[in-house]
Amino acid sequence: MQADFWVTDANAGLLTDAYELTMLQAYWREQMIGPAAFSLYMRRLPKSRNYLIACGLDDVLRFLERLHFDADAIDYLSTLGRFDRAFLEWLAGLRFTGSVWAMPEGTPAFAEEPLLEVEASLPEAQLLETFVMNQVHFQTMAASKGARVVHAAAGRQVVDFGLRRIHGADAGLKAARAFHIAGVHATSNVLAGKAYGVPIAGTMAHSYVQAHETELDAFRAFARAWPETILLVDTYDTVRGVRNVAALARELGDEFRVRGIRLDSGDLHALAVEARAILDEAGLRDVRIFASGGLDEHEIERLLSRGAPIDAFGVGSLMGVSADAPYLDSVYKLVEYSGQGRTKLAPKKRILPGRKQVFRMESNGESSGDVIARAEETLPGRALLVHVMHNGRRTQAGTESLEAARSRAQQELARLPARVRAITPAEPQYPTRLSIELERYWMELSANVGESAPGDGA
Amino acid sequence: MQADFWVTDANAGLLTDAYELTMLQAYWREQMIGPAAFSLYMRRLPKSRNYLIACGLDDVLRFLERLHFDADAIDYLSTLGRFDRAFLEWLAGLRFTGSVWAMPEGTPAFAEEPLLEVEASLPEAQLLETFVMNQVHFQTMAASKGARVVHAAAGRQVVDFGLRRIHGADAGLKAARAFHIAGVHATSNVLAGKAYGVPIAGTMAHSYVQAHETELDAFRAFARAWPETILLVDTYDTVRGVRNVAALARELGDEFRVRGIRLDSGDLHALAVEARAILDEAGLRDVRIFASGGLDEHEIERLLSRGAPIDAFGVGSLMGVSADAPYLDSVYKLVEYSGQGRTKLAPKKRILPGRKQVFRMESNGESSGDVIARAEETLPGRALLVHVMHNGRRTQAGTESLEAARSRAQQELARLPARVRAITPAEPQYPTRLSIELERYWMELSANVGESAPGDGA
């Protein structure tokens, strides 16, 4: 068997919770292969989020198009000694042949609204649960955080610096894309540039300065190698670092083309003010000030509200791991089997039964509220769930460019009420409700489940 | 060029911050290819961590053995139009040929102690920064959180359920391994079973119960497919669910071999007490109670301190993303270049210069404190940093089994003072200090850097 130190198309089918496979063998034995529908949604939003930005769909569809268990995977499962040989043979032939409806990437989403719904045979629809949640949860969390940081930066550029402390290699790659959809301008992550075309940015580290005899030596050498660079000025003393930039400008005269300086520690407001004054006095009005180090949307808003002369922000760990809300209450729930709606009664964990649609209402160009409805309803407003996969293949709507998703996010965010776009908790929250039909269906099923199902066999 | 939707050995070199490559071109131009040493360490620990568990070294060494830029990577970099052709040719031939000293995986670590030190030419040692930090930071964070959960469970089994909400595919795979090193018994993640041999565990989801007409139907069918399973009892009403398990036991008689039930919502303490009573009354004393749903070390300790009759725990998101401390203050800093120690003076961000060693002192079989020393010192106590890579190849010490790392963690954790092992903040903290030699070296270099380097060119 091959080594599996990386997740790839070849082994992604095994990146699943073991219970998906134990359930699959049970379904296979019972021949419970009727049509099922599952909804992926967030039960509620973190207190610090007024909205989410749907993200991760492209990876989900790619996964579903390629989902399979190769000989190596089947061999491994057989070594566990718990699966039937005939089941494993059936599993080896399994492909995803169902349909997916989803909110396109970049769509603002709220609690209980399906980000995606899957319609397929029960085993197929069950099997994909873990992987699909892993991608949609993380990417939606990242895009949602990124949109807040971009909002706080109020038009100034934001660069993703998160790779070194983000949770693993896949998160680093996918988050750079999610942040870009959310409006982040560029990333430090070179592979994300190659994979997705996200603009990449990066200049120098403290080590470069340290490795030279003096800071000015380092600045001089770096500006020779990269004339239009941004120089990191806080290795020894920020103010003296800025003076060294001014000294280099005097030294190089017309050849000085350095675009900016980066502050990475200390009181960023005070240092930006002082740096701006030194630069201006040296005639370096075009040299921009870039700030990084422990930034998030709140710190950026605080800096800008006090008038800090900062032109761009590098944002790392706090955005990369969505530090104030590092997970969402995401679930993937069975809502229909064999034509019957399904629900669940665990406390505070209701499941809205049946396939659904979400309608976003607008007035005067502003989103005024969402209605979660049954799939077959037609209500006022825009229908947000789109048919993105059919018979296991992407539809036209399931194939879109990164730029299309990024534009959507920008446009849709602009339509949200200002209090919802803000980084402080919205009061009142963005209104969402169930349609009358869906409310009635949920009540009806809950009552039935409560009466007929459990305990009565005892 | 090929698609890069997954990180693999082929493209991992590009999973880097752009500034590593811009600095490399500058070093290459300046021919700054002298020997350098870098330290990877945590500047400080989160308030909620008394210790960390070093983890991620195996992936680091694998990366370093395979690090290269293939034609596809070089082609991509050349399309950016910012790198010299001659530099890219040099980059294509670059391999890691240096040495690594590191704390073996599973070693408890504290603030400012190097988790690893790299000695290589300046470009080689610089280039690996982002990837190595990405893996060591995340895996150390995960192992450190896992150890706390295991401690709280006080000998009861803990199973990792985090995959669906962990940050991406790579984190899911690597965290399962890190948690296992930290003492977590098993994971739901099948691929982690295949990749590392971590025991895998998993039973059924709510969807299985929902897909059947009644809960008892579902239990009967699942117990037929998987006789020694654990049944999930909270889909509709936990107490009635437990009664349905008792009903199934009566129905099956001697053929009933169900091993346990799982509670996944509600007041876990009250429900465990009630479930235990129902099971005992039905003569099902061997049926174990498994609890999951929003658990972390604090909730587990609370449940057990109140005597909840719970036999095992499934722990998901809160452990998976280390929710109370979702990032650590990790850095990778130049400490020596061309035989001279290097430091940095940014406020609260000191760098201890030169290569180092960490000595752990013991008295009466208990770790009593650590001394961070210069590499060439010999002090009382065990030296924690081991030579794991030489000339770009693993040494014998750089090759060890997962079980060896897991045993080390268990033994080393047992030696920590009880207040440090506890999940509440240690008072006083575990003592660490600098050796007299290192303290002197740091003072000497700081003074010199302050006088000679920055600003004076102005």
CB < 8 Å from B in window 272-311 of A = none
B130 part of contact set with chain A, CB < 8 Å: yes
Minimum distance, in Å, between the CA of residue A330 and any CA atom of chain B = 8
Task: Please provide the average confidence, as pLDDT, over all residues in chain B.
Answer: 95
Chain A residue with minimum CA distance to B349: A265
Minimum distance, in Å, between the CA of residue A210 and any CA atom of chain B = 6
Residue type at B343 in one-letter notation: T
The reply to whether residue B190 touches residue A18, judged by beta carbons under 8 angstroms, is yes
Residues of chain A with CATH 3.20.140.10: 12-142+347-452
pLDDT tens readout for residues B335-381: 999 999 988 876 677 899 999 999 999 999 999 999 999 999 999 99
Task: Tell me the β-bridge partners of B312.
Answer: B157, B290
Which pLDDT score is estimated for A1? Answer: 57
Which pLDDT score is estimated for A377? Answer: 98
DSSP conformational letter for A422: S
Chain A residue with minimum CA distance to B58: A5
Q: Report the topology of domain B12-142+325-452.
A: nicotinate phosphoribosyltransferase (3.20.140)
DSSP conformational letter for B310: -
Chain B residue with minimum CA distance to A177: B5
ipTM over 0.90: yes
- Contact (Cβ atoms closer than 8 angstroms) between residue B121 and residue B35: yes
Which pLDDT score is estimated for B347? Answer: 64
Rounded Cα distance, A219 and A242, in Å? 11
Which pLDDT score is estimated for B1? Answer: 57
**What 3 state SS string does B119-168 have?**
EEEHHHHHHCHHHHHHHHHHHHHHHHHHHHHHHHHCCCEEEECHHHCCCH
DSSP conformational letter for B398: G
Which pLDDT score is estimated for A348? Answer: 72
Out of A8, A168, A243, closest to residue B134 by CB: A168
Burial call A215-230: b when 16+ CB within 10 Å, e when fewer: bbbbbbbbbebbeebb
Q: What is the side-by-side order of every strand in the sheet holding A432-434?
A: A382-383, A356-363, A366-374, A432-434
B chain contacts of residue A4, beta-carbon cutoff 8 Å: 173, 191, 194-195
**Phi then psi dihedrals of residue B318, to 5 deg:** -65, -35
B71 part of contact set with chain A, CB < 8 Å: no
3-state SS class at B200: strand
A221 part of contact set with chain B, CB < 8 Å: yes
pLDDT tens readout for residues B146-203: 999 999 999 999 999 999 999 999 999 999 999 999 999 999 999 999 999 999 999 8
Q: Which of A17, A77, A324, A338 to mutate to test the interface with B (most CBs of B within 10 A)?
A: A17
Enter the tokens of residue B141.
């964070």
A44 part of contact set with chain B, CB < 8 Å: no
A427 part of contact set with chain B, CB < 8 Å: no
B121 part of contact set with chain A, CB < 8 Å: no
Which CATH number applies to A12-142+347-452? 3.20.140.10
Q: Supply the DSSP string of A371-389, one letter for each residue.
A: EEEETT---SSEE--EEEE
Which CATH number applies to A144-320? 3.20.20.70
- Contact (Cβ atoms closer than 8 angstroms) between residue A97 and residue A8: no
- Contact (Cβ atoms closer than 8 angstroms) between residue A135 and residue A56: yes
Minimum distance, in Å, between the CA of residue A167 and any CA atom of chain B = 5
B328 part of contact set with chain A, CB < 8 Å: yes
From first to last of its 458 residues, chain A has per-residue pLDDT tens of 568 999 999 999 999 999 999 999 999 999 999 999 999 999 999 999 999 999 999 999 999 999 999 999 999 999 999 999 999 999 999 999 999 999 999 999 999 999 999 999 999 999 999 999 999 999 999 999 999 999 999 999 999 999 999 999 999 999 999 999 999 999 999 999 999 999 999 989 999 999 999 999 999 999 999 999 999 999 999 999 999 999 999 999 999 999 999 999 999 999 999 999 999 999 999 999 999 999 999 999 999 999 999 999 999 999 999 999 999 999 999 999 999 998 887 667 789 999 999 999 999 999 999 999 999 999 999 999 999 999 999 999 999 999 999 999 999 999 999 999 999 999 999 999 999 999 999 999 988 774 444 433 33
Which pLDDT score is estimated for B203? Answer: 86
The reply to whether residue B204 touches residue A164, judged by beta carbons under 8 angstroms, is no
- Contact (Cβ atoms closer than 8 angstroms) between residue B128 and residue B15: no
Out of B204, B215, B346, closest to residue A235 by CB: B346
A138 part of contact set with chain B, CB < 8 Å: yes
Low-confidence ranges of chain B (pLDDT < 70): 1-2, 346-347, 450-458
B6 part of contact set with chain A, CB < 8 Å: yes
A340 part of contact set with chain B, CB < 8 Å: no
